[in-house]
Structure 1
Amino acid sequence: MVRPNEEVEALLQEYADLVLITGGDAFKARAYEKAARAVGGYHADVSRLDAKGLQEIPNVGRSIAEKVTEYLRTGRMPAVEDVRSKIPPGVRELMGIPTLGPKKAMLLYQDLHISSVPQLLDAIHQERLRDLKGFGPKTEENILHGIALMQAAGDRVPLNVAMEVAEDIVAELSAITGCERCTYAGSLRRMRETIGDVDILVAARGSGPFMAAFTRLPGTAEVIARGEKKTSIRTAKGLQVDLRVVPPDSWGAGLQYFTGSRPHNIRTREMAVHHKLKLSEYGLFHAKSGRKVVSRTEEEVYARLGLPWIPPTLREDRGEVAAGLRGELPELIQEADIRGDLHTHTDLTDGLAPLEEMVEAAARRGLRYYAITDHAPNLSMQRMTDEKVLAQRERVRELDGKHRKMRLLHGTELNIDADGSVDWPPEFLAGFDLCVASVHSHFNQGRDALTRRLVTACEHPEVNIIGHPTTRIIGKRPALDMDLDAVFAACARTGTALEINSHPDRLDLCDDHILRAKRYGVKFAVNTDAHAPLHLANLRYGVGTAQRGWLTAEDVINTWPLDRLRRFLRKDALARA
């Protein structure tokens, strides 16, 4: 159920990490890292490619292609297994701790013989790490935070991983004779950023064929439980999937019951009791007589409780019921509302595809405008120069208007340096259509310094959007420790939008921060940060996160017509009014 591309990507990335840990060639490690990203973002299924076809993927040379071919044929990559054997299993466990890093994990093993998380926690509490070079109280604090992140993630998987599994299963079960309705529910339908298990709901008059087919699905590693109404499996990647079959006339009640968070469902059941009713997955019933009132659609269930239909992404008991009773539920942004993408990359810097391919892919998605925002020169490993970016601008202008009336914007992703400054001087930046500014380094600055850094970037006259504002990577890197309210206020004051980065590993800003920022009157941009054509499809996850933050299309600048967007990008006070 997981794309072979992702399996190969993970293996090549692991090899790159292991090469660095064992003191191998840094350039070799970098080559495998680039190849990993290229394979993960490639549009075609790598399992269908031979060695020659693999070499057509950017950054995949003959040696890497041969290793991938062997893995796809045998399920083994000896080069990776060989390097794994040189590293104690405990060190690999420590490597999984966000904020620690592979080199420090190896140092802990070599100098203190630490090979497990419990041993590391004991050493921190005994202050034994402070004698090691590069370790101190701040490092200990960061490691403890990283362990907390890892433990909080537990067996949860990223939203996109769960979505791919769920959509494959829904497609399989929907094709079975007798299936009247089939969809996913639970936290996945609510678009939570990580998913503990996947809930699948089927409406049918008999459950037998569905339960049997479910247990035989490709990728099933274990049947946890099998019954007439519910069956649970575990996939080969460890994700639990639960299937429930309800009668067709109970579809709406079942979908409502199995979608809402526990607090939301408690709230709706309390409302049912107030109306002398009882709510379950089979319907809304009279409490005394037991007679069914409604059950066929979610809309009917909510209406009988005195509520409008509540979008799944709002069902977290964060005020949605009260807003529904007042008639104040927002008309949430939809993916179809997005007119353009304002943060994307090409192979001029760290993207995986040339400009022309990215533009063509954007046109196929029906976008009305599309921005190319490759990295600026202060991110030195990307080797950007004035000459390169100006040559790209000329090519963008040549392509503008040639793809189904989609307009092209030439921008850049600037680096917010430690003092809040950005790469190019204002007079050079004035030549871009828009500037995204992001933090890519110095993550461990103090709270006050980080706050000043972001506020200074917002105040720059040419900075339009703050990219992935907290820099978090879900389960791997914590959000920056800064005064977010001060940053939100600065964005509202200066007319600087905050990005909702749609990459499933980021989803940054998160829903809680979006809710807070909206109160200041901040505007947002839902962008993909795409580094390959395939990544443009991640927009759905950013829109889902925006919905969880109660945003409407009006709140998001890339739903606006291009003329209005251009006025906003000039930081025109009237355009923001």
Structure 2
Amino acid sequence: MARANDEVEAILREYADLIAITGGDAFKARAYEKAARAIGGYPADVSTLDAEGLREIPNVGRSIADKVAEYLRTGKMAVVEERRAKIPAGVRELITIPTLGPKKALRLYEDLHISSVSELAAAIEKDALADLKGFGEKTQENIRHGIELLRRAGTRVPLSLALDTAERIVAELSAVTGCTRCAYAGSLRRMRETVGDLDVLVAAERSAPFMDALCELPVTAEVVARGAKKTSVRTGKGLQVDLRVVPPQSWGAALQYFTGSKAHNIRTRTIAGHQGLKLSEYGVFDTGSGASVASRTEEEVYARLGLPWIPPTLREDRGEIEAALGEGLPEVVTERDIRGDLHTHTDLTDGLASLEAMVEAAAERGYAYYAVTDHAPNLYMQRMTDEKILAQRERLRELDGTRGRMRLLHGTELNIGPEGEVDWPEEFLAGFDLCVASLHSHFDLGRTAMTRRLVWACEHPYVNVIGHPTTRLIGKRAGVDADWDEVFAACARTGTALEVNAQPDRLDLGDEDILRAREHGVRFAVNSDAHSVPHLAQLRYGVGTAQRGWLTGEDVINTWPLTRLRRFLRKGRRG
């Protein structure tokens, strides 16, 4: 069941798109986008608020609050229904294409009667857009790339949505009488950045109560198939959930088997075969006698194969078997290892919560240190000034030490310009505890220019971390084109950390790039990039991605004690 805040955020964003499609007031559309973002990041459950309570949320005025209250009361928003009726479904399908805005989607429908993604792809291949104003070669290439991203994403959902759904289902099924164990498996347990379907396992003697319970859950929109051993349903978000009930004595073998990956399982079955054993979802069996020799726990199953237990995030056949048999597996970083968050925002720029609220929430997470890194002035829409950032520093120094032993660091997120330049001169940057530098524009520079831009940022004496390095948005925007090995080498040489940004639509760096960068000796920072209090908890997705990249606590600078972190942040500067 989706969080009410997320549902309201989605419908307000849709309304903003519908306003734009129909040529409505751009200011009005922007107002609804701001309200959507504010509600999505609001810590309290909006379903518990009346219209007056809703108006206390930033950027939610009386009119928007009334519409949200209507939606929470009826499940519908009349203005959205009216706008939907005016716009062909095909146009609404077209705006799901990354890089294709609502106005261009409407032009395509009105001028060329294109009303689906497949029709648009065919039209581009036939060069049917050539004479349409505003659809030159560069625009068509961008749209073609957007279609590729959309198709690549397919029916897969973001890690965050899959995990939220899975945890709700596991909690519900765990409460059913007769359940001895319940967990999610599959690519979600391996923390892949997107998930095709959910695999949920229950250990119990009787399966019927659990199959019944799954079919009756609020999250279930459709029963796809129902059986004694496996039942499949589809959620309202289109995510398929496959539930399997196994005997308690087979729990470990089933969890190992259904966690995967396929390539990892092929390797473990091959090892079993070489030892005269057979490995299946029911256990490890002696091939000759057929007797079960291991099945109850994953540790028992791996041990019978002569292997240590392998963390699920490593099970991709990317060397984990060889490491387990040889020099040993890495002790991958965990969320408990993270001592502080080094990239967060407040309402001084584009965050939704005050400095005080963010500091309080960080302290509740038990951090030893916490950095506030609001945007610098070159990201003009944030309207940062020297006076504002210095006033924030003064207030932060006042708060330092007032939340237990947690220490506060004053930082900033700098904008990396097209030539690698950053905001503020060096003498001003010297006053910050740390500087994160990120790309926010000029994503289409050529490979050579982009590489040089990133390397120059790394070489800046006050840049400590490159934030969301590739700028990718999963399923929406590909990362920038650069010689990443050269960038990774520059980071290692200059003592500049690369961020593993935990926002679920970023997860940037991704696991494969982390593996490459790690070979260069790069250090990393796993950060939430939080823009609201709830966003702080998104750190778990970054940690999962870091694990998939084989990172240990030694690799991640924000697992280090503050004294060691401060030495790293000095970046070789004297004095």
| Greater mean alpha carbon deviation, residues 498-507 or residues 212-221 | 212-221
1:494 positional shift? 1.1
| Greater mean alpha carbon deviation, residues 408-417 or residues 204-213 | 204-213
CA contact (8 A) 2:461 2:573 kept: no
Mapped partners of 1:104, 1:439: distance in 2: 26
Mapped partners of 2:342, 2:548: distance in 1: 21
* SS of equivalent to 1:129: coil
* SS of equivalent to 2:130: helix
* SS of equivalent to 2:143: helix
* SS of equivalent to 2:86: coil
| Greater mean alpha carbon deviation, residues 238-247 or residues 126-135 | 126-135
Which structure 2 segments of 5+ residues have no match?
A: none
CA contact (8 A) 2:23 2:103 kept: no
Q: Indicate yes or no: 2:340 matched with 1:340.
A: yes
1:449 positional shift? 1.8
Mapped partners of 1:111, 1:420: distance in 2: 42
- What residue identity is the alignment partner of 2:398? E
CA contact (8 A) 1:158 1:505 kept: yes
Mapped partners of 1:354, 1:162: distance in 2: 30
| Greater mean alpha carbon deviation, residues 140-149 or residues 279-288 | 140-149
1:377 positional shift? 1.1
Q: Indicate yes or no: 2:19 matched with 1:33.
A: no
> 5 Å matches for 1:127-166?
127-166=127-166
- What residue identity is the alignment partner of 2:140? E
Instruction: Find the counterpart in structure 2 of residue 357 from structure 1.
Output: 357
**Runs of 4+ deviating beyond 6 Å:** none
Mapped partners of 2:573, 2:337: distance in 1: 24
Q: Indicate yes or no: 2:547 matched with 1:547.
A: yes
1:573 positional shift? 8.3
State the Cα deviation string for residues 8-58 of structure 1 (Å, max 9, x = none): 101111112222232222222211111101111111111111001111111
- What residue identity is the alignment partner of 1:236? G
| Greater mean alpha carbon deviation, residues 172-181 or residues 382-391 | 172-181
Instruction: Find the counterpart in structure 2 of residue 511 from structure 1.
Output: 511
Instruction: Find the counterpart in structure 2 of residue 447 from structure 1.
Output: 447
CA contact (8 A) 1:495 1:573 kept: no
Instruction: Find the counterpart in structure 1 of residue 116 from structure 2.
Output: 116
Instruction: Find the counterpart in structure 2 of residue 102 from structure 1.
Output: 102
Instruction: Find the counterpart in structure 1 of residue 248 from structure 2.
Output: 248
Mapped partners of 1:456, 1:141: distance in 2: 29
Instruction: Find the counterpart in structure 1 of residue 72 from structure 2.
Output: 72
CA contact (8 A) 1:502 1:543 kept: yes
Mapped partners of 1:134, 1:425: distance in 2: 40
- The TM-score with structure 2 as length reference comes to 0.98
- What residue identity is the alignment partner of 1:259? T
Aligned length: 574
* SS of equivalent to 1:372: strand
Mapped partners of 1:89, 1:519: distance in 2: 48
- What residue identity is the alignment partner of 2:325? L
CA contact (8 A) 1:420 1:453 kept: yes
Mapped partners of 1:432, 1:250: distance in 2: 55
1:134 positional shift? 3.5
Instruction: Find the counterpart in structure 1 of residue 493 from structure 2.
Output: 493
Against the structure 1 CA distance between its residues 139 and 343, is the aligned structure 2 distance closer, same or farther, given a 3 Å change threshold? same
| Greater mean alpha carbon deviation, residues 148-157 or residues 443-452 | 443-452
> 5 Å matches for 1:376-455?
376-455=376-455
Mapped partners of 1:438, 1:86: distance in 2: 40
| Greater mean alpha carbon deviation, residues 76-85 or residues 435-444 | 76-85
* SS of equivalent to 2:520: coil
Instruction: Find the counterpart in structure 1 of residue 317 from structure 2.
Output: 317
Q: Indicate yes or no: 2:222 matched with 1:222.
A: yes
1:212 positional shift? 1.4
Instruction: Find the counterpart in structure 2 of residue 561 from structure 1.
Output: 561
State percent identity of aligned pairs.
Answer: 75
* SS of equivalent to 1:130: coil
Against the structure 1 CA distance between its residues 557 and 259, is the aligned structure 2 distance closer, same or farther, given a 3 Å change threshold? same
Mapped partners of 2:195, 2:211: distance in 1: 22
Mapped partners of 1:528, 1:164: distance in 2: 17
* SS of equivalent to 1:171: helix
* SS of equivalent to 1:437: strand
Mapped partners of 1:484, 1:372: distance in 2: 28
> 5 Å matches for 1:475-490?
475-490=475-490
CA contact (8 A) 1:35 1:60 kept: yes
- What residue identity is the alignment partner of 2:465? I
* SS of equivalent to 1:414: strand
CA contact (8 A) 1:39 1:57 kept: yes
- What residue identity is the alignment partner of 2:346? T
Mapped partners of 2:339, 2:88: distance in 1: 51
1:572 positional shift? 2.1
